[in-house]
Amino acid sequence: MKSEEGLFISQEPEILALNWFAGIVAMDKAISESVNRRLKSSLGISFAQARVVACLAGQQFMTQVQLARRLHLDMGTLSRIIPRLIDAGVVTRFRHPNDCRCWCVRLTQSGVAMVAEITAFLGATDNKLISPLTEDEADIFVALLKRLLVNATVHDATDVSTVARTDSL
């Protein structure tokens, strides 16, 4: 088989795995960039910032460590997001009432109001992205994604690299 560039492509399982994996990564990047542009133009925040706002919805407050864990972010990434949300008037940060070592974050009134806008925006985005599929196809697609996500959390990257190394020897 030849690629678009005219190069021969191997049909080895490793290459096929890279192709579907690369496809998922490319799709994620394209969707993320599109959502980022549209969120910034309509709400003035990035997708990463919207995730923080959505995570804080309905919470009295969360520590930054809790927030980072729930969103699967490292503290460095979160520490760059929080000041931007503070500057935008969406969240406030304060010391934990019972542990002065911890920083806590909570939504401001404008942050609480933004939750509904973010939810509506992401719902419309989901509908638009999945619109080429029939209802049955969409259900199957979502079910398959859930299975892949569960599998990814059960088998971390070290498991995969170990298998890859032993298979190639």
Q: Which amino acid is at 19?
A: N
Q: At what angle are helices 64-71 and 75-87 packed, to 10 degrees?
A: 110
Is 157 inside any structural domain?
no
Is 169 inside any structural domain?
no
What average pLDDT score do residues 19-45 get? 88
High-pLDDT (> 90) share of the chain, %:
59
Domain that holds residue 100: 21-130
Is 15 inside any structural domain?
no
High-pLDDT (> 70) share of the chain, %:
80
Is 7 inside any structural domain?
no
Report pTM: 0.71
pLDDT of residue 166: 45
Is 35 inside any structural domain?
yes
Is 3 inside any structural domain?
no
The token pair at 51 is 């995730």
Reading across the β-sheet that carries 91-95, which strands appear in turn? 62-63, 103-107, 91-95
Radius of gyration of the CA atoms of the chain, in A: 20
- Using the predicted structure, report yes or no on whether residue 17 has a pLDDT greater than 90: no
Instruction: Check which CATH number belongs to the domain holding 105 and give it.
Output: 1.10.10.10
Is 159 inside any structural domain?
no
Number of domains in the chain: 1
